[in-house]
A and B are shown apart, each in its own frame.
Chain A
């Protein structure tokens, strides 16, 4: 017999680890990835590869040469950031913009704060918003699903065919033409399946929901943020719609278009940048939902999910401080 091991209790541990959790998230994203391959063809695969590889590369380089700490690229977080970043861009994005976006996401969004676990913002969203502001034209040039498949290759889009293969997103139509403009576009079944223009990962609500349910089922995420986020955005959109159906789109439209579902299940629930307690998570979800609809309806951008989540990320430390979990044996503090 060798030496006995001495350690504090507990002596049994749940069979879990960061990579395991991360890979479960990756599994959950597979349906949406398949949909994007189907809709956008090889161009989508190209963007995925560039995004993931450059995220890995930058994480490795920064850890190796700048931080000079342990190298943790195997924990799966770079993979998730890469996929999410790719989900958030149109498939026609030039390759070098994708690389720059990955650098910002990993370098500025994550590593500058000390790496995984310390970043206040969701790295993929940091990268996405950076790209949206820096390259507004390329980032809002949305390829049409299916039609655009054959026009893409690893080289990117040919400018000559641009007008035939790209078109606006439903939210863009809403922004420009108002509710009347919408009736010309597709029906709800198409929207749910992903028959619309948009970022690669956001188009198919159904695929995203399947993955989201998997995450909930495997207890990777808790229900608080998704439910609060969906509920509040739906409620606010419904109020506006009831007030004036000719001016505002109906709430179902808001749910299935744009990046809402993607944001709800995969980005707002990011462990690091969302609140800890159940109460805090509900506040976070409600805040993000309200902000999303406000930006969509009253803001100058057609889509507000990324901004809403980033804003709530910024509020997370405050929420964590204010909304503690329910303590056992302490009466909830009441105003005397």
Chain B
């Protein structure tokens, strides 16, 4: 095995709790109704192209992304459009969504739903990018940045490396892990496609060494391809952050406020690579994804292949139902995920996991005074002083917060995780960031 790499600055070691790591991906039965939000990606919302009462097939386009940074949305089940209206999203706010009552599972004719692995790449570079755009593929790591935009290298920049993110540094989550173990072959084809679409030669796959089976298997598969290298990494959070991953793999540091392309890298998640494979080779839009449903008290933690728009409740039912003492349900990882206000909220493209926390772990400890121990500074992977930024944000001293680089914060939560006083440092920084952003924007005008 190769020497383990990692990034240097900051980082923490949360307990892993990868309880669902050995649970194979199961397919969740098609739900009765799905609510598919039309704005599932970073950037502009898409425009709805179906009407109430219309019959749709699985994979049919229902919302078209028209802005530069926006993505298409497709029907994830076949059936009748019940309504095009606002539904509650994960945070309890209203979002425009298409509600479809499912009737059977009839797919669009041109979609290949067979199990067969199609390895031969026939599409050209432009065709690959177009296909990815058409099929609504977005970054599945959580940020949901439209993938086709990422493949278009801005003028004056060159991409040297394609980096595939198989780190999954968040505790609890195992969806990427299972994908790598079970769909290695398809993944490699997806990576080849991304490579061709991007026009790069070298590919690095970063995987933390708490997933030895994935490292072993993918190394085997990768040996059949040229220039695809699997690099095991030391377990450390937040290694899955783009900037930290590039630093760990290549030792390059993405300058503040810039994208990875600045140092010749494009980072994609393994889930994205798999979705790209399906989109280009199988003509299948992004209508489902793998979601980890887990929690210490959950009866059957599992990894499920779920249609987009399925209510969270269905997933939890599949995993044995909500335990009695549930205190909190989180959408995403425990470090960066969002707490759900209602179990009716739909699974979206960016949902990597649903985690159920028992009551005892749901509420935070009472916040104490800051003793300036500097643990948060030690933990911050961006080299910031979270305790100070939080103070500045609390006192609304936006210009000083900007001087102290509040906008560099990647919101990984390491600071709050380590704080012995239980101070909600990240919460305050989150209050500060939009205010500072607004201030910078106003100054520009």
Binding site for B on A (CB under 8 A): 1-2, 4-14, 16-18, 20-21, 72, 75, 115-118, 222, 271-272, 276-277, 324-331
Contacts and interface: CB of A to CB of B under 8 A. Distances in A.
B278 to A, nearest CB: 30
A14 B328 CA distance: 18
Contact of A7 (B256, B328, B385): B328
Nearest to B410: A328
Interface stretch (B121-129, B216-224, B336-344): B336-344
Contact of A13 (B257, B404, B417): B417
User: Which of A5, A16, A116 has the most chain B CB within a 10 Å cutoff?
Assistant: A5
Contacts of B329: 4
A117 B384 contact: no
A106 to B, nearest CB: 16
B173 to A, nearest CB: 12
Contacts of B255: 329-331
Nearest to B10: A328
B158 interface: no
A72 B373 CA distance: 18
Interface stretch (B22-30, B228-236, B266-274, B424-432): B424-432
Interface in B276-335: 322, 324, 326-330, 332, 334-335
A206 to B, nearest CB: 27
Interface residues of B, number: 73
B416 A10 contact: yes
B357 interface: yes
A11 B328 contact: yes
A75 B338 CA distance: 32
Contacts of B339: 4-8, 11
Interface of B: 9-10, 12, 14-15, 171, 243, 247, 253-258, 322, 324, 326-330, 332, 334-342, 355, 357, 359, 361-365, 368-374, 377-378, 380-385, 387-388, 404-405, 408, 411, 413-414, 416-422, 424, 426-427, 430
B420 A11 contact: no
Contacts of B324: 1
Contacts of B364: 7, 13
Contact of A8 (B361, B374, B427): B427
Contacts of B405: 327, 330
Given A328-B408, A329-B243, A12 B422 contact: no
Nearest to B355: A11
Contact of A276 (B256, B332, B372): B372
Given A10-B336, A11-B335, 13 more contacts: A10-B416, A10-B417, A12-B361, A12-B417, A13-B419, A18-B371, A117-B370, A271-B371, A276-B374, A276-B385, A325-B380, A325-B384, A327-B384
A6 B357 CA distance: 12
Contact of B365 (A8, A17, A327): A17
Contacts of B419: 13-14
B341 A6 contact: yes
Contacts of A118: 369
B254 A329 contact: yes
Contacts of A11: 328, 330, 334-335, 337, 339, 355, 357, 361
Contacts of A115: 369
Contacts of B257: 329
Contacts of A324: 383, 385, 404
Contacts of A4: 326-329, 339-342, 362
Contact of A21 (B357, B388, B420): B420
A224 to B, nearest CB: 10
A90 B426 CA distance: 46
